[in-house]
Structure formats: C-alpha cells, structure tokens
Chains A and B, each alone.
Chain A
C-alpha cells in the first residue's frame, strides 16, 4: 500500500499534463454540478415561496371535537414549542351563502374563516397566503372588527358586488344573518383560486361552537411539514386528523418532482461526461505505462497493489480537483447571485441554501466517478499477460 501510494505520487509528479487534464475535467464538472445544485435550491425556493411560504402548512382538523378546550390550549402550547413552527392558531371554518343587500338579489356560496384577532394583512397572509396589500385592486383594506370584509376581485364581479356594497351572510349554524361592508377587492392573479371566502376575527362571531375547527400553523421551512405532522399525531394519539400541504397541494409536489427530475438528469449527465473524460485520460495514461506495469508485475507487484496505484493517483487528483471545483462553483454562484438583484427593490432574487451535506455528497460523487473510471481503465491490464505488457 505504501509503495502503491509512493508510485501514485510519482506518477502524478512526473506526468503533470495528463493529470492536469483530468483535474480540469473534474474542476469543470464539479463547478457546473455545484451551480446546478444551487439552481435546484433556487427553483425549490421559488416553488415553495410562491405557494407556501406565507400560508399555513399543517392543519389539525378538530372535526370530531374529541378534545376539550383545555386540551386544545395545551396542544397549541406544545406545538408552539416545536422549533419548526413559526405561527400557530385556531381557525373556525363556517360555510354559508352571501347576497348583496337589497331586493331580488341572488345567494352565492361563501365561506368565513374565523380566527384570532389578527391585523388584516397578517391574517390574509397567514390564512390564505395572500399578500393583501400588494394585490389590492380597488378600495381599501378592511377593518374586520367593524364588520368590514374584502373579496376577491373576480368573485366580486361574479356576484355583482362593488366596493361600498353591503353584503349579507347566511349560515344556518349562526342562527341569524351577518351584514358586512365590502371595503375593497384584491386580485391574486396567478393563483386563480375561486376566492369565495374572507377572514373574520373570532370576536365578531358570537357562537363559536358551530362549523369546523382547526389548529393551523405555518412552518419556517414547509419541507419539514411531514415531521411536524408525525409529532402532532403522537401528541393527539389518533384522536383527530392532521394534514399537511404535501397531502393537499399535489401540484406543488409534482412541480418539485419535475424540478428534481430535471436537475437530477443534468447531474447524472454531467457525472457520465466526467466519467468518460477521466476514463479516456486514464486509458491513455495507463496504455503509456503498460511496460512499467509489466515490469512491476514481473518483480512481484500483484494486481491489487497495481490497481491501488491508479486508484490512489486518481483519488489524489480528483480530491484536489473537487475542492477547486467547489471553490470556483461557489465563486460563480456568489457573483451570479450578486448580479441577480431585483432592479427596483434591490433585493436578491437568486436565493439558495447549500448545506454542508451537499458539499460532502458532491465531493463523494465525484470521487466515486473518478475511482470508478480508474477501475475500468486498469481492468484491461489484468487480462493481459505480463510478457505482453512488457513488450507493448
């Protein structure tokens, strides 16, 4: 082994150009792989941000009302202790119908989400994922405590409501109607929801025993929702149901899968390319050393030790190249990130998270590819007679 290491080192020292080409191939490959990996992280962030980041990600349905109020309070306190959880609150979902005040107006299905007394902007963001200030198209934001509501612009047009109209909500569980003033409309555009719902603070609903209750929460990282669901299930011991966004928003999962598939394919293609380049360079390098391999074998170096020479040689070259590749990849990402600044807000648009494990995985992958190439390159010499190697 020591002799194999010494020989590997000498092969590197005395054949700098060949090893430099191998290094360059690995550096470029690792750099590109790193950049692609970052792109993957950016894409993931874009997908998650657009759909999830500002809305509830986990929902405990207290449909069966098996928990009493103190148990619910206790559960909320326990959930608040989870490091993954950003915000947690009660939510009461009431369905019914709405019509514009006046004679001969039609009823339209409508839903009220009753929750804590949040500020309007906060409530819309936490409950529906809507940045209400940015999407306001008409009127002003409502003051929920004054029985004011807002509607989706498309929905308002559909039912013929305009800012300033009085709207009457009927829910058979309320036992009476509620009258609201429409203060503004918003347009979420790309989401294309049929937004026939609005938010009301808990204090405006007298009887809270009707409807469907939830404990909802948004997480710092929506990807952790599965783990959070499992933790809550343990606390509930199967008494209520718990869902997360991954169950209810299959489209996001599909998008993420598509993104992973594209990135994965590119990564695999790059790995194969590096494998071929390294394999060819090593083939060339080993073919030039047939005689030396033959002489060493004639002197008693066995196949395994001989294989080690080339495996070590490639490993040394590849490990240096991987470090350089990561450095250059990181540098490229840094400058690209600086360049990708929103022209108006000056906020970065190329947001990524690369974890230590990603670096380690990338290094391990490249080392594996290089070592595999050395194995295949050397295999041929095992099949040749020593005397043929010497005479080559």
Chain B
C-alpha cells in the first residue's frame, strides 16, 4: 500500500542550556487509509511526534514527508496552506470556536480553504452531524452542548473537509468512559466510511481491531510497532 507519511531519523530536543531529547531517531511511515494508535506513558513523546507530523512544531533533526512533500522544509505560509488542504485535527479538549454554532464550526476548515459554502455543502455537513448523533444540536453554540457532543463536533470538523490525514491527540482525554467509547466508535466508523488515514494518540487501554496498528513509544523511542 502507498505510504502517505514518512518520518526519517527525527529528533526533537527542548531547552538550550539543559537539553532534553523528547524524540530520538524516530523513523516511521504510515500507509494511506491506515488506522494507527500512538500509545505510551506521559512524556513518552507521542504528542510531540503528532505535533511534528502536523507541522505545529518543528523538528530538531530529520525529515517528515507527507504526500512526498517535506513538511519540515516548508515555510510557515506553505505549512498553513498544507494543513488547510491535507490535515484534520482533533484535540484532547474540543477547542471549538465559541462564537460559531456547531454546524459553522464543522464548516470552518472548508472556509479556511476558501471554498464557497453552498446549500449542498451545508446539507452534507448536517447529514454527517446527524450520522454521528448531532442532528439535534447543529444550530447550538458549543456552550449549549455536552462534552461528548462538543468532541463529536470536533471530529466532524476534522473529517468534513476530507483531509488526507486526521490527527487526533487524546480525543477522549476529557470524557467519561461511556462518551469515550462512543467517540472511538465514531472514529472507527468514519475511518471505514471515508477511508482517511487516522493517527490517534491515546492514554486509554485500547483493544485494537483488525488491521489497526499500535505504535508504542517510551522515552522518545519506538519500542513496539504492530499491526493487528
């Protein structure tokens, strides 16, 4: 299967006087339409790796390519454009824009891309939201929604623009177990439906399903990489 993300000998070091290596010589690749879990204890470097893949942070050494384009060599403006067209984000906290309704939040990535929001696009967004159980709240503002609804809106926002890769950083970290299970179910379902590459960082004990990959990090190094 074609590779979508290639990480070559990546290091990430923080600090100037006292240097801390958060990632050490990480070499990794992700196949198109794959589903991967990044797991590990706190401070193992999983969120850092995610931030480097998405271009939100810069590598100390090494190279990351997405769709054969080296994100590590892009200028800030190029990175922004690249993220707008190729990446989707789900954060630990929903991080929705409080000034926009749930539906408007879902449409933001398309608006950033410069796509004109037509009635059809809106209808498609509503259909997606209905699919993940948000049909009754799409006109609500984030403060009028529950934590689970907010996080599902964030997932809808990440997926609706149909990016190449969705990066989810502990998407259930702020939810109770029932809501968390529901979110994972939705993520897996959307992956099946849309065939988008998913990289999900989690603290939770997970039970990988068939074809799901688990990458375990410890002290900035990959200690396990297994496809189920």
Whether A10 lies near B99 (C-beta < 8 A) is: yes
A7 near B99: Cβ-Cβ < 8 Å: yes
Residues of A within 8 A of B76 (CB): 302-303
Chain B contacts with A in 92-115, Cβ cutoff 8 A: 95, 97-100, 108-109, 111-113
Q: Are A299 and B51 in contact (CB under 8 A)?
A: no
In the complex formed, the residue of A with least CB distance to B51 is A387
Which of B80, B100, B111, B113 has most A Cβ within 10 Å? B80
Overall SS of chain B's interface: helix
Q: How far is the CB of A379 from chain B (nearest CB, A)?
A: 14
Give the size category of A's interface with B: 20 to 34
- Interface flag for B57 (CB, 8 Å): yes
Given contacts A3-B111, A14-B98, are A298 and B54 in contact (CB under 8 A)?
A: yes
Q: Mark each residue of chain A from 1 to 34: 1 if its CB lies under 8 Å from any CB of chain B, else 0.
A: 0110011001101100000000000000000000
**Given A298-B89, A299-B89, are A10 and B83 also a contact pair (CB < 8 Å)?**
no
A11 touches B99 (CB 8 A): yes
Interface of A is mostly: helix
For chain B, the count of residues having a C-beta within 8 Å of the partner chain is 25
Taking a contact as CB atoms under 8 Å apart, the answer to whether A14 and B99 are in contact is: yes
Specify which of B57, B99, B112 is in contact with A387 (CB 8 Å cutoff).
Answer: B57
In the complex, the number of residue pairs spanning A and B with C-beta atoms less than 8 Å apart equals 67
B212 CB → nearest A CB, Å? 25
Complex: how many Å from CA A292 to CA B56? Answer: 14
A301 within 8 A of B: yes
Q: Is the CB of B57 within 8 A of A302?
A: no
Q: Pick the residue among B51, B80, B95, B98 that contacts A302 (CB under 8 A).
A: B80
Q: Distance (Å) between the CB of A297 and the closest chain B CB?
A: 7
Residues of B within 8 A of A300 (CB): 80-85, 87, 109, 112-113
Shortest C-beta distance, A8 to chain B (Å), equals 10
Residue of A nearest to B95 (CB): A295
- B120 interface residue (CB < 8 Å to A): no
Contact B56 A299 (CB under 8 A): no
| Distance A143 CA – B56 CA, assembled complex (angstroms) | 94
Residues of B near A292 (CB, < 8 A) are 95, 97-98
Contact with B along A285-305 (1 / 0, CB 8 A): 000000110011111111101
Q: Does any Cβ of A come within 8 Å of B138's Cβ?
A: no
Quick check: is A360 within 8 A (CB to CB) of the other chain?
A: no
Which residues of chain B are within 8 angstroms of A14 by Cβ–Cβ distance? 98-99
CA distance A385 to B112 in the complex (A): 19
How long is the Cα–Cα vector from A97 to B150 in the complex, in angstroms?
A: 101
| B191 CB to nearest chain A CB (Å) | 20
Chain A CB within 8 A of B37 CB:
no
**From residue 260 to 315 of chain A, which have CB atoms closer than 8 A to chain B?**
291-292, 295-303, 305
Shortest A26–chain B CB gap in Å is 22
Q: Is A390 an interface residue (CB 8 A)?
A: yes
Query: What's the Cα separation between A303 and B83 when bound, in Å?
Result: 13
- Across-interface contacts of B113 in A (CB, < 8 A): 300
- Nearest 7 A-B pairs (CB), nearest first? A300-B84, A10-B99, A302-B80, A300-B83, A14-B99, A3-B111, A386-B56
What are 10 inter-chain pairs, A to B, with CB distance below 8 A?
A3-B111, A14-B98, A296-B97, A298-B54, A298-B83, A300-B87, A301-B112, A387-B51, A387-B57, A390-B95
Contacts beyond the supplied A7-B97, A390-B91: 10 A-B pairs with Cβ under 8 Å: A2-B111, A14-B98, A291-B95, A292-B95, A297-B80, A299-B84, A299-B112, A300-B80, A300-B81, A302-B81
